[in-house]
Structure 1
Amino acid sequence: MSQETLVKRQFGHRARLALAPAQGLKTDNQAHVARTMWNLLHGWWQMMPKEMRTLANADAAIRQARDDIDFLAALPAQAAQAVLKTYFQTWKNCWEGRADAPSFKGRFRTVMSVDIPQGRDLNITRVHRRWGMVNIPKVGRVRFRWTEDLPVGKRTNPENRITGARLIKDALGWHIAFRVQTLEAAPSPHQGPEVGIDVGVTVPIALSDGETYEHGEWLTQREQAKLLHLERRAAQRKQHRKPGERTSRRLHHTYDRIAGLRAKAKRRALDWQHQTTTAITRAYGTIVVEALTITNMVKSAKGTIENPGKKVAQKSGLNRSVSREAWGRTVTMLTYKTARHGGTLHKVPAPGTSQRCSACGFTTPGSRESQAMFSCKNPDCGWSGNADHNASRNVLHLYRMGLALTPAAGRAGVRRAKRVKPATAR
């Protein structure tokens, strides 16, 4: 029997929970206890000498705290262990230069979340086409929106399973993010054409073959008017608050409604990005993008008192537009989706791609007439066309000239497994 290479793929799937009021209170309590556990660990870490900061000592301190403080028992023991491991992993990332040092988590500045490290505790079942049921420790059976097939049931391959989950609360309510692991055949090399991509503000995604992907406003006119009304109401109520006075419940309620509308806009933007990047990775085998340093692009232009910046308001508006398009998230989606479909993703240097003529290759002053039009000022050329289309053609040309900064995208999120018979992958 022929053999084929199987790869282990790990990904996440997020679904909306339908919690009853009592279940919502229990989940909120667990999230507050998880945050408290983190803060207690951080305080313990600062008090202990270096030679005492070990995982075993921290585990003993957590167990003692759960015995001494009653309300800490609301968090399951496995979730408390997950907080401990995450805290130590954060310090490890800090020592290796990948993250900042951990700090205390504030009540209103921290995303409420609870980890469920054991997948066997979830006991997921599908009720019907739209809903499923999941078991949350110390909360009970909860319904969730079934929008993607999950590896559950007796007929599922044992290699395909849910390894854990995480409960996350945003402005729209509680959600559950499943950690899914599957074993599947390695994708065959994508035979699609090559394409260069230019990202922008006016045209979010422009391809070198002339295709463009655009979107409108994420909120309807009615929702935008409502958001503006709520922001004005919040500013007015904030003016009447005395210095040092606690925020009123009415103002908190207004802030919650503002956050709900913004979360709705972000969810629609994410959906558009997922659909667009999926369509691109299915159609093209080689995708070339610019290596943008977005953090430098969105820096403030205020300057200093001695040397103030120019056109600060215009730069601030541009920074908001760049951040709203989330170019980095688009590249991240393209990276793992190209690997899943057998394609490759390359990055090329970004300087000069928007000023260079894609027809003659010369950079002449004033060729970029506007945000949308490019007209080459070279007398021997005179090519004119869409500026974003011109930039995407330059991006692809740099790759074909061998100026790619990174090789094939690898198998992002995919780990190679041993050779097994195809029958085991069913």
Structure 2
Amino acid sequence: MSPEATIKRQFGHRARLSLSPAAVLRADGQAHAARTMWNLLHAWWQMMPKEKRTLAHADAAIRQARQDIDFLAVLPAQAAQAVLKTYFAAWKSCWEGRADAPKFKGRLRAVMSVDIPQGRDLNITRVHRRWGMVNIPMVGRVRFRWTRDLPVAKHANRENRITGARLTKDALGWHIAFRVQTLETAPEPHQGPEVGIDVGITVPIALSDGETYEHGAWLTGKEQAQLLHLEQRAAQRRQSRKPGEPISRRLHRTYDRIAGLRAKAKRRALDWQHRTTTSIARTYGTVVVEALTITNMVKSAGGTVDEPGKNVAQKSGLNRSISGEAWGRTVTMLTYKTAQLGGTLHKVPAPGTSRRCSACGVTTPGNRESQAVFVCKNPDCGWSGNADHNAACNVLHLYRMGLALIPAAGRAVVRRAKRVKPATAR
């Protein structure tokens, strides 16, 4: 196999772990120790003068802390080094303006996680069709849900291997996220058609060829009623709690049940997004989407004390709906799935795509009479149709006109493609 015909691919794969009660306690202990190590590093950073905030001094500090504090010994040494590297990387991201400064991690709000930086410690084997086995340092051999092919220990090599993993705990239990590196055959260029995509709330995904992808509620009626009951119970128990009184175990259990239902809804939403984006990437060779600035779209309308906002409750509901559809995650999935299958994804400017008539090309205020119906106000046109389909056609039109956005110096720049003039007949 020639080097030109292969491509190195790095991706992550998340799987559910099946831990015994004793293993759960050991994993919880490691996660709490990792969080404590982060907080100790944060306190050390604030106390040290600027010239002593180096990786070598921090490494010496955590080694001494592991000797002085007994319960930190449950955290493997390599996992402690991973906490150190992650903390320094967080400061680097802050200095470059890509993130906020690192903060103290609270016990209840922080995500419980442990990093396994070396893949050779995992020793992955497949038991049968549904389960595999992985070795977790200082926890033991653990079963995990086998949902895709992974490089097992006896077949792993420099090109196809597990480079590391990360344990995370959510409301549904402990999971492991593998970091996988493979050498695969470069995909052939996708010969599928071009398609424009418009994302929305009523219709989550609408295509320029008239196809739509919709979904129902992520929770059943019974689960929604149960969630409402638990939220009301939690509110009542919060009101009955005296000021300064710690949260009771009953309230903690109620919070856990609420988190479990919300995690179940998120898992179903992820499954729908994966299935939908995979279907689109397999069908179309060129996918065009809008370059939306979602963070600006979900800003609060509360305003200030001097200038209060209008329709704050309605805007809050719209923000929740936009965040619930996770448009950015859909685009991210389409980006790597189209590349994996030989296709391409392009972004075009978003302004005006929902108000322009795809039939005559005229943008007139008031064209979109409702959320679902588009009626062109141009007296020479008068076209009417589905508003989402019209917007998707406009997205594809912008790409065919050569208006594509390319990232340059951290911002989007319009690129006009060179078009070849047709030869005139002589």
Q: Does TM-score exceed 0.5, indicating one fold?
A: yes
Distance 1:68 1:234 in 2: 40
Amino acid at match of 2:231: E
The residue aligned with 2:382 is: 382
Question: Is residue 268 from structure 1 mapped to residue 268 from structure 2 by the alignment?
Answer: yes
How far is 1:20 from its partner?
0.5
SS of the aligned residue for 1:113 comes to strand
Distance 1:371 1:97 in 2: 38
The residue aligned with 2:65 is: 65
How far is 1:187 from its partner?
1.4
Amino acid at match of 1:188: E
Amino acid at match of 1:279: S
Amino acid at match of 1:228: L
Residue-by-residue CA offset, 1:75-99 (whole Å, 9 max, x unaligned)? 0000000001111111111111111
Amino acid at match of 2:323: S
Amino acid at match of 2:54: T
Amino acid at match of 1:59: D
Amino acid at match of 1:397: H
SS of the aligned residue for 1:405 comes to strand
Conservation of the 8 A alpha-carbon contact between 2:34 and 2:83: yes
Question: Is residue 289 from structure 1 mapped to residue 278 from structure 2 by the alignment?
Answer: no
How far is 1:365 from its partner?
2.5
How far is 1:156 from its partner?
5.0
SS of the aligned residue for 2:317 comes to helix
The residue aligned with 1:394 is: 394
The residue aligned with 2:46 is: 46
How far is 1:305 from its partner?
2.2
Amino acid at match of 1:400: R
Distance 2:2 2:92 in 1: 44
Distance 2:247 2:355 in 1: 51
Instruction: Give the direction of change, closer, same or farther, for the CA distance of 1:181–1:2 in structure 2 (3 Å limit).
Output: closer
* TM-score for both structures, normalised by structure 2: 0.94
Amino acid at match of 1:206: A
The residue aligned with 1:171 is: 171
The residue aligned with 2:246 is: 246
Distance 1:242 1:200 in 2: 44
Distance 1:124 1:153 in 2: 5
The residue aligned with 2:184 is: 184
Conservation of the 8 A alpha-carbon contact between 2:123 and 2:153: no
Question: Is residue 358 from structure 1 mapped to residue 358 from structure 2 by the alignment?
Answer: yes
How far is 1:300 from its partner?
0.9
Alignment of 1:87-236 (within 5 A): 87-156=87-156, 158-236=158-236
Amino acid at match of 1:44: W
Residue-by-residue CA offset, 1:390-421 (whole Å, 9 max, x unaligned)? 000000001111111128xxxxxxxxxxxxxx
Amino acid at match of 1:357: C
Question: Is residue 319 from structure 1 mapped to residue 319 from structure 2 by the alignment?
Answer: yes
Amino acid at match of 1:386: N
Distance 1:260 1:42 in 2: 31
Amino acid at match of 1:325: E
How far is 1:2 from its partner?
6.1
SS of the aligned residue for 1:404 comes to strand
SS of the aligned residue for 1:260 comes to helix
Distance 1:396 1:271 in 2: 27
SS of the aligned residue for 2:287 comes to strand
How far is 1:380 from its partner?
0.8
* TM-score for both structures, normalised by structure 1: 0.94
Residue-by-residue CA offset, 1:281-320 (whole Å, 9 max, x unaligned)? 1111111100101111111111122222111111111111
Distance 1:374 1:146 in 2: 47
SS of the aligned residue for 1:334 comes to helix
Distance 2:307 2:23 in 1: 56
Alignment of 1:293-312 (within 5 A): 293-312=293-312
Distance 1:221 1:2 in 2: 56
SS of the aligned residue for 1:307 comes to coil
Amino acid at match of 1:113: S
Distance 2:9 2:371 in 1: 41
Instruction: Give the direction of change, closer, same or farther, for the CA distance of 1:155–1:70 in structure 2 (3 Å limit).
Output: closer
Distance 1:153 1:313 in 2: 55
The residue aligned with 1:280 is: 280
- Seq. identity, %: 84
Distance 1:324 1:304 in 2: 26
The residue aligned with 2:417 is: none
Residue-by-residue CA offset, 1:209-245 (whole Å, 9 max, x unaligned)? 0000000000000100100110011011111001111
How far is 1:4 from its partner?
3.4
Distance 1:185 1:286 in 2: 20
Amino acid at match of 1:99: A
SS of the aligned residue for 1:367 comes to coil
Amino acid at match of 2:26: K
Gaps of 5+ in 1: 408-426
Alignment of 1:75-90 (within 5 A): 75-90=75-90
How many correspondences in the alignment?
407
Amino acid at match of 2:74: A
How far is 1:275 from its partner?
0.7
How far is 1:366 from its partner?
2.1
Report 1 or 2 for greater relative contact order, CA contacts < 8 Å, sequence distance ≥ 6.
1
Distance 2:81 2:2 in 1: 44
Residue-by-residue CA offset, 1:178-211 (whole Å, 9 max, x unaligned)? 0000011211211111110000000000000000
Amino acid at match of 1:196: G
Instruction: Give the direction of change, closer, same or farther, for the CA distance of 1:241–1:3 in structure 2 (3 Å limit).
Output: closer
Conservation of the 8 A alpha-carbon contact between 1:162 and 1:178: yes
The residue aligned with 1:410 is: none
Conservation of the 8 A alpha-carbon contact between 1:198 and 1:391: yes
Distance 2:173 2:222 in 1: 22
Instruction: Give the direction of change, closer, same or farther, for the CA distance of 1:381–1:140 in structure 2 (3 Å limit).
Output: same
Distance 1:313 1:60 in 2: 52
